[in-house]
Amino acid sequence: MNFRLTQPAVLIDINPLTQFSGVQNCAADRLRVGALTRFGNLERDPGIARDLPLIDEALPHIAHPQIRNRGTIGGNLAHADPASEMPAIVLALAGKLRAQSVRGERWIAASDFFVGALSTALEPDEMLMEVELPTAQPRSGACFLEVSRRRGDFAIIGVACTVRVDEEGRCSAVRIGLCNAGDRPIFAADASGSLVGRRLGPTEINQAADLVQGAIDPGGSIHASKEFQRHVAGVLTARAVAAANQRAQREY
């Protein structure tokens, strides 16, 4: 609205709906975050570092402290900026999003939710109410890395990675998500799948980084060329996978 790009005829302030703010456990391995939960509240919640380490690591990169005091996770996800961190994280975590309208409610998988730049699967009469995410499990690790021109700027590229290992230290599950790598958050399916069942060393990790570079379609901008974005995506993927793997190996 401040860019004078939209002039809605009717504007409704949903900030008073504080009952839709907050984090709730809904199962031993899942929790639900209300759409009106502000990033600042997530930053100050000690449970987030334990249960959602990927979000915890990304929060300092999201805009600025003053923005995080008002910005909500629901607003961020419904806005669906392809450079935004949270859509990539929700996609990497394979989260589910609950939409509600007068017609009823439905759950939308993250993989179906982000359909294009600033576009989601929400119908015009639907509102995003909460997002359900898996919590950190034993023998799993997560890492979020981002490069931007200045602290708080939109990411040139951001990578969100989770790794789970079995008792022998081999990778049993990997998910790699990226932001600003296309017109929507990207889940690097081939790269993620390539690591399952293997012990992760430099060779495997670099192969995955190469696959990520081949899978993305960054748009380029005045801050970074497409080639630079592609290069950064490879570098950050390698670092994030290595870090997530190392953190997973430490857990027992």
Partner 1 sequence: MLLSDFLRHDLLLAGTHVGCEHGVCGACTVIFDGVCVRSCLMFAAQADGHAIMTVEGLAPDREHLHPLQESMRDCHGLQCGYCTPGILMTMKVFLDETPAPDEAQIREALSGNLCRCTGYQHIVEAVQLAAERLRR
Q: Does 40 bind partner 1 (CB under 8 A)?
A: yes
Size of the site for partner 1 (CB under 8 A): 17
Can you tell me which of 69, 101, 119, 246 binds partner 1, judged by CB under 8 A? 69
In whole angstroms, the minimum distance from the beta carbon of 190 to partner 1 comes to 36
Q: Does 75 bind partner 1 (CB under 8 A)?
A: no
In whole angstroms, the minimum distance from the beta carbon of 208 to partner 1 comes to 32
Can you tell me which of 35, 48, 59, 63 binds partner 1, judged by CB under 8 A? 63
For the window 131-170, what string marks contact with partner 1 as x by the rule CB under 8 A?
-------------------xxx------------------
Question: What tokens does 91 get?
Answer: 């996609």
Longest dimension (CA), the chain: 60
Can you tell me which of 22, 60, 75, 182 binds partner 1, judged by CB under 8 A? 60
Q: Does 182 bind partner 1 (CB under 8 A)?
A: no
Q: Does 221 bind partner 1 (CB under 8 A)?
A: no
In whole angstroms, the minimum distance from the beta carbon of 22 to partner 1 comes to 17
Pick the closer one to partner 1 by CB: 74 or 234.
74
Can you tell me which of 26, 27, 67, 117 binds partner 1, judged by CB under 8 A? 67
* Host H or E run for residue 241: helix 226-250
3-state secondary structure 202-226: HHHHHHHHHHHHHHCCCCCCCCCCH
Pick the closer one to partner 1 by CB: 66 or 101.
66
| Burial class of residue 173 (count of CB atoms within 10 Å of its CB; 0-12, 13-18, 19+) | middle
Can you tell me which of 15, 18, 101, 119 binds partner 1, judged by CB under 8 A? 15
The answer to whether the CB of 88 falls within 8 A of the CB of 177 is: yes
Q: Does 70 bind partner 1 (CB under 8 A)?
A: yes
Q: Does 5 bind partner 1 (CB under 8 A)?
A: no
| DSSP string across 175-200 | EEEEESSSSS-EE-HHHHHHHTTS--
In whole angstroms, the minimum distance from the beta carbon of 118 to partner 1 comes to 16
The answer to whether the CB of 88 falls within 8 A of the CB of 110 is: no
Q: How far is CA 151 from the centre of its chain?
A: 18
In this structure, the number of other CB atoms found within 10 A of the CB of residue 247 comes to 18
Whole-angstrom distance, CA of residue 132 vs CA of residue 142: 17
Can you tell me which of 24, 66, 137, 225 binds partner 1, judged by CB under 8 A? 66
Whole-angstrom distance, CA of residue 131 vs CA of residue 98: 6
In a 3-state reduction of DSSP, which class is residue 12?
Answer: coil
Provide the binding-site residues for partner 1, judged by CB under 8 A: 2-3, 11, 13, 15, 40, 60, 63-67, 69-70, 150-152
